[in-house]
Amino acid sequence: MSSLGTNLIQVIKDKEFQAVTKDLTEVVIDSNIAEGLLKDVPLLSTIIGTFNTVTNIKDKLFLKKILTFLYELKSISENKIEEQINKIEEDLKYRTKVGEKLLFIIDKCEDTDKASLTGLLFKWFLEKKIDYDQFITGTNIIEKTPLPDLMFFIENDVEELELDNGGSEFVSYGLMEIRVTKPNIKVGDEKYYGDKYIPSDNEILADRLEITDFEIVASISWIGQILRENLCKE
């Protein structure tokens, strides 16, 4: 996995990569044409060759997800790629190299649709529109959210949902968070406690407070906002 991850990063940095990926389409990715088309990027040919030596369906699908991910990076300049990846590689906070981390993330994508969304998110990282931590958090949410729910969230401008109307599911994915709407607070009449019991000030206040007209709802989270803003435009 480590050497494959290193090759993947070298492929992304390759100056021939951008020109070649412009010719990649879903049809090409689905066929054996990809191997001939991408022969101009030797390292990518090596990756493809690695998977072509096996007949395991899972490995073939993994290759397809890698190519789908790479396709989404077709418009990024070589300088931006080099700068952003080097910045993460040199940061001691991240123990796992970028290439290896990307392979783990792509492998967890259940299909090419999620690999495509992950590629778009990485593109936004390379363009400095999100940081690396936001990219990692975003990919975790893409991984655990069912695709129909994810696409509904991305494509619809829903800011709040009732918890029993889908909101609780979106909270569990991380796309939304619990929010309590502003309540109506009123201080009622003082209560009589009798002659033998002297309540504390806090007890008196708690008994007199009347809190009404509030709701507990699911509201879009900060990472949900980032995913919607970045993925709905693509």
Q: Report pLDDT digits (tens) over 143-184.
A: 999 999 999 999 988 888 888 888 899 999 999 999 887 666
Pairing of strands 216-220, 176-180: antiparallel
**Residue 103: inside a domain, yes or no?**
yes
Taking only the tens place, the pLDDT of each residue in 86-130 is 887 777 677 667 878 888 999 999 999 999 999 999 999 988 899
In a domain, 215, yes or no: yes
Domain count, the chain: 2
Instruction: Kindly state whether residues 14 and 119 are assigned to the same domain.
Output: yes
Helices 2-13 + 78-89 axis angle, to 10: 150
Mean pLDDT of the chain, nearest integer: 75
Is residue 40 domain-shared with residue 140, that is, in the same domain? yes
Percent of the chain whose predicted confidence (pLDDT) is above 90: 26
On whether both 109 and 198 belong to a single domain, the answer is no
Residues 124 and 156 in one domain: no
Confidence class of residue 44 from pLDDT cuts 50, 70 and 90? low
Q: Among residues 110, 144, 178, which one ends one of the domains?
A: 144
Higher pLDDT, 55 or 175: 175
**Does residue 219 form part of some domain?**
yes
Top-confidence residue, 232 or 11:
232
How many whole angstroms separate alpha carbon 122 and alpha carbon 24? 18
Residue 217 DSSP code: E
Domain that holds residue 219: 150-228
Q: How is the chain split among helix, strand and coil, in percent rounded to 5?
A: 60, 10, 30
Quick check: is 131 in a domain?
yes
Would 233 be classed as within a structural domain? no
Question: Are 108 and 177 members of one domain?
Answer: no
20-24, 133-137, 202-206, range with greatest mean pLDDT: 133-137
In a domain, 192, yes or no: yes
Same domain for 90 and 26 = yes
Which carries the bigger pLDDT value, residue 97 or residue 66?
66
Last residue of a domain, one of 144, 169, 190: 144
Residue 187 lies in a domain: yes
Is pLDDT above 50 for 28?
no
- Shared domain for 6 and 63, answered yes or no, is yes
Residue 80 has pLDDT above 50, yes or no: yes
If we measure between CA atoms, which residue out of 177, 90, 174 comes closest to residue 136?
174
Half-sphere exposure of 76 (CA within 13 A, CB side): 27
Share of the chain above pLDDT 70, in %: 58
Contact 88/94 with Cβ under 8 angstroms?
yes
